[in-house]
Amino acid sequence: MKTDLFSIPLFTFDVESQKKELHDLALKLEKENNGNNVSNQGGFQSQPFGKENEVYKKFIGDNIELIFKELSDTYDFRSNVIKPSRGWLNVNRKGAYNLVHSHCQHDFVGVYYIKVPEGNTGNLVVINPDRQNEFTSYENLEYNKYNQGRFSIKPKENLLLIFPGGLDHYVLENKTNDYRISMSFNMDVIDENDN
């Protein structure tokens, strides 16, 4: 008999909300060079913004109900309120990548791929929190959810990913001559009385 002790979900959605507006905003902010250095190496990361940004506000409004339904169906929250935190835009040109980091001060993180050119623009890699998989003395015939130390996600336009904020992750180098644009944001499930 086998019992799965824990499970970590990755939620994927196909959305097209505010794509052109977010694309244009990312390039405008990059041109103004008012960026933020966190995990980005060689790429542009905008200063964080909230619902004061009308484009972000519309994106959240278009998608939050669908996101919360999937999360709630999986996690069985007592609360019926999810609060999006601040978001930011990322422009990764040739050679840019992101170091290992997490968003552990938040319940969930979202990544929305706005522009993804053809080729190897840099996969998002999520690290298994059970680090034993990286230090085993045995070899596996093939990788599965029990023996995989890292999970790699190829970006594609309109892909929205949601995963737990405490998961370490990083972004591989963009090896194309074109740029990739994504938006990241954090979310917290809150008690409805704190609203």
pLDDT in tens, 20-30: 999 999 999 99
CA distance 81 to 83: 6
pLDDT at residue 157 tops 90: yes
Is there a contact between 172 and 151 (Cβ–Cβ < 8 Å)? no
pLDDT at residue 171 tops 90: yes
**How large a percentage of the chain has pLDDT more than 70?**
95
**Residue 54, pLDDT score:** 95
pLDDT band at 174 (very low <50, low <70, confident <90, very high): very high
Q: Span 73-77, mean pLDDT? A: 92
pLDDT at residue 176 tops 70: yes
Mean pLDDT, rounded, of the chain: 91
CA distance 153 to 44: 21
The CATH fold assigned to 11-189 is Jelly Rolls (2.60.120)
Domain boundaries, the chain: 11-189
What is the pTM for the complete model shown?
0.92
